[in-house]
Structure 1
Amino acid sequence: MPDVPEVLFVCVHNAGRSQMAAALLAHHAAGRVRVRSAGSAPADTINPAVVEVMAELGIDLSAEVPTKLGVDDVNAADVVITMGCGDACPVFPGKRYLDWHLTDPASRDVDEVRPIRDDIDRHVRALLAELTTTAV
C-alpha cells in the first residue's frame, strides 16, 4: 500500500462534480493525498460555471480537460468516489467505494453551482480528515 492514499473521483462527464472534488481535495491535502478524476462519458470541456465558482476560491480549472475513466485509474486508487455514474465504474476487490449523492451542476448558472461546490467541499474536508488520521 502506498504511503500516500490515492483518491479517484468519478462522475459521468468529468466536467463538474468530479473536477471540483478533485481540485478541492488536492488544494486542501497539499500533497498528503494523490488525486485523480475521470468520467464514464467525458464531456469536451469543463462546465464554465464550475470554472468560475472554483476561481472564486483561487483554484484554476480553466486548463483542465475531462478524462475518460480507465481500468488503470480504478486499479491505482485506494478510494473510489462515484457521483452519479452508476454501474459504469469497474469494481475491484479491496478498493473502498463511496457514492456521494450530489446535484449535477450541468446546465446550471453560477449562483446554482456555488452551493454544489460548497457541498462538495464539506464532503472533501471530511474525507481528508479521515484519510489523514486513519489508514485507507
Structure 2
Amino acid sequence: MSTTDPTTASKPSALFVCVHNAGRSQMAAGFLRTLSGGAVEVRSAGSMPAEMINPTAVEAMLEKGIDIRAEKPKVLTDEAVEASDVVITMGCGDACPFYPGKRYEDWELEDPAGQGIESVRPIRDDIEKRVRKLLAELGVEPTA
C-alpha cells in the first residue's frame, strides 16, 4: 500500500457488527470515523437492526463530542463483510457471516440496550480503548 499518494492508496476498512446496530457497533463506528479522520472506511450493521439508535448511546457519545444522531441501524449484508478488511463482531453469534481470509475480532461488550447513562459510559470508554488499539494495528495515527 502506498503512503505517498492518497489517490492510489487503498484505505483500510472496518465493519462493526452487533445484533441491533443501535448501540455498541454505532459507538465503535463513531469513534473510528472520528479518530481516523477519514483514513479508515467505516461500516456498521446488525443481524436484526433496531428501528432507531439507542438514545443513551447517542447521549454518551455526545459527551465525547461525537454526534451519531444521524446514523440509522442497517441490516448486515454479505457485501459489507466482503468489502471490509476487518470485521468486528459484538455479540451477534451465528448470525454473522464468515468469509475465509477476512480478519475477524469478537469484542465482548455489555449490551447498552435499556441501560442508563451511568452504565453506558463504561461500555463507551471500553469501545474507545479498543478502537484506539485497532487504529494502531491498522497503522493509522488517531486525530485526537
Per the TM superposition, whether the score is higher than 0.5 is: yes
SS at match of 2:17: strand
1:31 counterpart residue number: 38
How many pairs does the alignment contain? 133
Residue type at the aligned position of 1:55: L
Instruction: Please give the residue correspondences for 1:82-121 in structure 2 after superposition, counting only pairs within 5 Å.
Output: 82-121=89-128
For 1:59 and 1:39, how far apart are their aligned partners in 2? 21
1:60 aligned onto 2:106: no
Residue type at the aligned position of 1:65: K
Query: Normalising to structure 1: TM-score of the pair?
Result: 0.94
For 2:104 and 2:10, how far apart are their aligned partners in 1? 19
Residue type at the aligned position of 2:98: V
SS at match of 1:58: coil
Tell me the CA shift for residue 93 of structure 1.
1.3
SS at match of 2:15: strand
Tell me the CA shift for residue 87 of structure 1.
1.0
1:19 counterpart residue number: 26
2:5 counterpart residue number: none
Residue type at the aligned position of 1:34: E
Tell me the CA shift for residue 89 of structure 1.
1.0
Specify the structure having the higher radius of gyration (Cα): 2
Contact 1:47 1:106 in 2 (8 A): yes
For 1:100 and 1:119, how far apart are their aligned partners in 2? 10
Unpaired stretches in structure 1, ≥5 consecutive residues:
none
Unpaired stretches in structure 2, ≥5 consecutive residues:
2-8
Query: Normalising to structure 2: TM-score of the pair?
Result: 0.89
For 1:43 and 1:128, how far apart are their aligned partners in 2? 28
Residue type at the aligned position of 1:20: M
